[in-house]
């Protein structure tokens, strides 16, 4: 099995139990951000296509920090899928389920986790052989109890999830107690304002706090 296989890449990306979700406005901040996260014990990030700098930021991280596992978030169309791969992103996630993007990622052997919020969307993902999904927006959709109910009929298939949206350092333990959770997505670790202002020490501190919170649930 090579690292281009979805299961292997996501096993690495999710091993820390928490995945920083990033909206970066200036690619010049990519390397100090990666260093701050790695120093805090989380050398992985989902860089979202919510800003124009996303592709350039991913490319800098991939080229200059090869040990840092950079992924693409908010992959909403095939152009974003292509841009993510060309930028060196090792995996991708989306807030929703688009069969064309899932098929495109699978055809190229690129690790991709679509988003789901309903049993119908989860059924569509299962039909395409997906094993890992983002659960979004996790808080608005009903939290851990909602995902427990949605995922129960699929438990025998080994489906796993990355809940994102409304997850914080204070409630991540509620999610990580669930066997179906691979990791949680967190926007609080490296907020856009902190990145913009270069508050790297704060980001490192947030990452360390998240790592400690994960260890309390998954020693």
- pTM for this one? 0.95
- Which position has the token pair 């095939």? 78
On the 0-12 / 13-18 / 19+ scale of CB atoms within 10 A, 169 is middle
10-residue averages of pLDDT along the chain (219 residues): 60 97 98 98 98 98 98 98 98 98 96 98 97 97 97 96 96 97 97 98 98 95
- Which position has the token pair 């989380």? 42
Domain ranges of the chain: 6-211
CATH no., domain 6-211: 3.20.20.70
| pLDDT value, residue 206 | 98
| pLDDT value, residue 35 | 98
Helix (H) or strand (E) holding 113: strand 111-113
- CA separation for the pair 58, 15 (Å, rounded): 20
- CA separation for the pair 56, 72 (Å, rounded): 11
Residues classed as catalytic? 46, 134
Single out the residue of 37, 24, 28, 36 nearest to residue 72, CA to CA. 24
């Amino acid at each position: 099995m090579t690292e281009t296989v979805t299961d292997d890449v996501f096993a690495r990306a999710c091993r820390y139990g928490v995945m920083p979700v990033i909206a970066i406005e200036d690619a010049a901040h990519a390397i100090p951000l990666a260093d701050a996260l790695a120093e805090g014990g989380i050398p992985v990030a989902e860089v979202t296509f919510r800003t124009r700098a996303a592709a350039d930021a991913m490319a800098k991280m991939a080229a200059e920090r090869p040990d840092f596992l950079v992924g693409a978030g908010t992959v909403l169309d095939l152009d974003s899928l292509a841009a993510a791969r060309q930028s060196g992103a090792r995996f991708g996630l989306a807030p929703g389920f688009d069969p064309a993007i899932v098929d495109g990622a699978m055809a190229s052997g690129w690790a991709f986790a679509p988003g789901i919020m309903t049993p119908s969307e989860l059924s569509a993902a299962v039909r395409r052989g997906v094993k890992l999904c983002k659960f979004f927006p996790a808080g608005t959709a009903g939290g851990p109890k909602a995902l427990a109910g949605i995922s129960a009929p699929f438990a025998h298939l080994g489906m796993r999830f990355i809940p994102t949206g409304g997850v914080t350092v204070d409630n991540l333990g509620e999610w990580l107690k669930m066997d179906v959770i691979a990791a949680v997505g967190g926007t609080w670790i490296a907020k856009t304002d902190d990145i913009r202002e270069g508050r790297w020490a704060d980001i490192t501190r947030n990452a360390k706090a998240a790592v400690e919170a994960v260890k309390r649930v998954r020693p």
